[in-house]
């Protein structure tokens, strides 16, 4: 499988799906980025004038200018009709921005964009380009969702040159490409969905969006590992990358931003899938909390922070005697390596050994907590299950645990406490540095400096 000729002026190359590097022959490891099994076969396009397309068709005049000469007016943002989506985007849709949305099949990406475009069509011109569904299928979905369809323009096309030609005629303010893996350009001699096709098609669409000021949504497929399919350079070309997550069997969906040039990353929007499409969930804490009628061992509530929003989640732990040579350590929704560190801290500084116990930790509701503020809650949940002593149902816990056994403060402690009070919690175990200077009405704060002080709460 060497770089033999294939057609006039074309030859086989191998592109890395991670970094986009090219190689003349296949190998197990990319020589540029070191990734394994990422080289895929592709056909290089002929050298010349990009398949006969005029290079100035989508070109813009460029010149060197001083920054002081460029206006710094505030960005004009367009409300999408979903406040949760606006939150994740950083306050709304920016003109000329390119947003890439990825998610598992059937998770609701097309539903979200159909509802969004239906709302946007009332204020700006819109164009929905479908490469996977027929116009009738899109129309039936829009009518089932009860969206206003009078002003929503629809195009079923997969050739990017044809799409840009019709878009120049329609001049939409917002455009959706569903999906980028189905779009192809005649300039590249390879099948739609290949590395070269996705890269070149996306580059032409991004160039059009920047030239015309059109806000562009690109829908992307994901791999079985949950990453966006196609070349990694696709994520670098766009302004915003969103992941639509959730289980198909669960009606709740979470929209996360992992890249955003116009707002904060790690923002989260929560939706519920109902009979008439997606509905916003304005109070996410309510769905992630399973308030027990009576206290149960191994359960504790913590306040995490997703972007600019504090969210209450329940952390559950099950500690049971192990009969295996190597006891299991399993964390769902948390970093498993972090769990091993916390168990080692408990043994070293508190004399509480779990080397003969299986330890399972889970974040209720499918939530994923990546911040270290969950450390103290994990420790308390595991200890509660080990000793079979329930924690109070009106207690919230948060704080970072250091290797020396100290409990370190976390950011935005006051906002976390206020969120807990709004949901009826009356006690809070927090790092001493996060204790409020002025008492909070209706809340008893338990400040702790070390893990030993925290574990003593269960012995009192």
Model confidence over 332-347: pLDDT tens digits?
A: 999 999 999 999 999 9
Average pLDDT over residues 89-113: 92
Grade residue 43 by pLDDT with cuts at 50, 70 and 90: low
Mean pLDDT, the chain, integer: 86
* 125/221 Cα distance (integer angstroms): 26
Pick the CATH number of 287-459 from 3.30.420.40, 1.20.140.10, 3.30.230.10, 2.130.10.10: 3.30.230.10
Lowest mean pLDDT among 132-141, 233-242, 274-283, 287-296: 287-296
Count CB-CB contacts under 10 A for residue 305: 20
Grade residue 62 by pLDDT with cuts at 50, 70 and 90: low
* 340/359 Cα distance (integer angstroms): 10
Lowest mean pLDDT among 63-72, 100-109, 133-142, 154-163: 63-72
Listed ranges 38-52, 95-109, 293-307; the one with the highest mean pLDDT: 95-109
Evaluate whether 77-282 and 287-459 have a shared fold. Answer: no
Average pLDDT over residues 103-115: 91
- Is the pLDDT score of 413 beyond 50? yes
pLDDT for position 7 = 47
pLDDT for position 291 = 61
Average pLDDT over residues 350-369: 90
pLDDT for position 3 = 43
pTM of the model: 0.74
pLDDT for position 214 = 95
pLDDT for position 460 = 58
- Is the pLDDT score of 52 beyond 60? no
Grade residue 14 by pLDDT with cuts at 50, 70 and 90: confident
- Is the pLDDT score of 175 beyond 70? yes
pLDDT for position 49 = 44
pLDDT for position 112 = 94
- Is the pLDDT score of 315 beyond 70? yes
Lowest mean pLDDT among 19-28, 106-115, 415-424, 433-442: 19-28
pLDDT for position 48 = 46
- Is the pLDDT score of 285 beyond 90? no
- Is the pLDDT score of 34 beyond 60? yes
pLDDT for position 73 = 63
Domain-by-domain residue ranges, the chain?
1-46, 77-282, 287-459
Which is higher by pLDDT, 150 or 1?
A: 150
Grade residue 47 by pLDDT with cuts at 50, 70 and 90: very low
- Is the pLDDT score of 443 beyond 80? yes
Listed ranges 40-49, 181-190, 351-360; the one with the highest mean pLDDT: 351-360
Question: Is 451 in contact with 401 (CB distance < 8 Å)?
Answer: yes
- For residue 339 the two structure tokens come to 């769990």
The CATH code of domain 77-282 reads 3.40.50.300
pLDDT for position 57 = 46
- Is the pLDDT score of 360 beyond 70? yes
């Amino acid at each position: 499988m060497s770089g033999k000729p294939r057609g006039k002026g074309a030859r086989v190359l191998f592109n890395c799906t991670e970094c986009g590097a090219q190689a003349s022959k296949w190998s197990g490891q990319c020589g540029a980025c070191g990734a394994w099994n990422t080289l895929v076969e592709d056909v290089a396009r002929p050298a010349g004038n990009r398949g006969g397309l005029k290079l100035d068709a989508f070109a813009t005049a460029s010149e060197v200018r001083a920054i002081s000469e460029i206006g710094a007016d505030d960005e004009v943002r367009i409300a999408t009709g979903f406040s949760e989506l606006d939150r994740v985007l950083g306050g709304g849709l920016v003109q000329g921005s390119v947003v890439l949305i990825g998610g598992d099949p059937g998770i609701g990406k097309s539903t979200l964009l159909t509802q969004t475009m239906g709302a946007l069509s009332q204020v700006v011109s819109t164009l929905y380009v479908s490469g996977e569904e027929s116009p009738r299928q899109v129309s039936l979905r829009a009518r089932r969702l009860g969206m206003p369809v009078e002003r929503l323009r629809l195009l079923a096309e997969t050739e990017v040159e044809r799409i840009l030609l019709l878009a120049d005629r329609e001049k939409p303010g917002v455009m959706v490409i569903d999906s980028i893996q189905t779009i192809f350009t005649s300039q590249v001699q390879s099948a739609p969905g290949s590395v070269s096709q996705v890269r070149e098609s996306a580059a032409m669409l991004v160039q059009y969006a920047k030239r015309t000021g059109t806000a562009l949504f690109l829908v992307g497929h994901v791999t079985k590992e949950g990453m966006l399919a196609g070349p990694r350079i696709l994520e670098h070309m766009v302004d915003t990358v969103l992941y639509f997550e959730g289980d198909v069997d669960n009606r709740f969906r979470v929209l996360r931003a992992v890249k955003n040039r116009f707002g904060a990353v790690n923002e989260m929007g929560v939706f519920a899938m109902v009979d008439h499409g997606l509905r916003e969930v304005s109070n996410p804490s309510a769905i992630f909390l399973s308030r027990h009628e009576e206290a149960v061992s191994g359960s504790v509530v913590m306040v995490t922070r997703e972007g600019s929003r504090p969210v209450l989640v329940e952390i559950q732990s099950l500690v049971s005697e192990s009969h295996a040579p190597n006891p299991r350590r399993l964390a769902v929704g948390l970093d498993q390596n972090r769990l091993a560190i916390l168990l080692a801290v408990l043994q070293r500084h508190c004399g509480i050994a779990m080397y003969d116990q299986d330890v399972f930790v889970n974040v209720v509701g499918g939530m994923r907590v990546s911040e270290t503020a969950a450390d103290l809650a994990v420790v308390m949940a595991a200890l509660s299950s080990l000793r079979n002593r329930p924690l109070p149902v009106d207690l919230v816990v948060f704080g970072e645990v250091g290797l020396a056994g100290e409990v370190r403060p976390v950011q935005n402690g006051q906002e976390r406490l206020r969120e807990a009070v709004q949901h009826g919690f009356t006690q809070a175990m927090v790092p001493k540095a996060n204790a409020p200077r002025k008492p909070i009405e209706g809340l008893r704060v338990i400040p702790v400096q070390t893990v030993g002080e925290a574990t003593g709460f269960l012995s009192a």
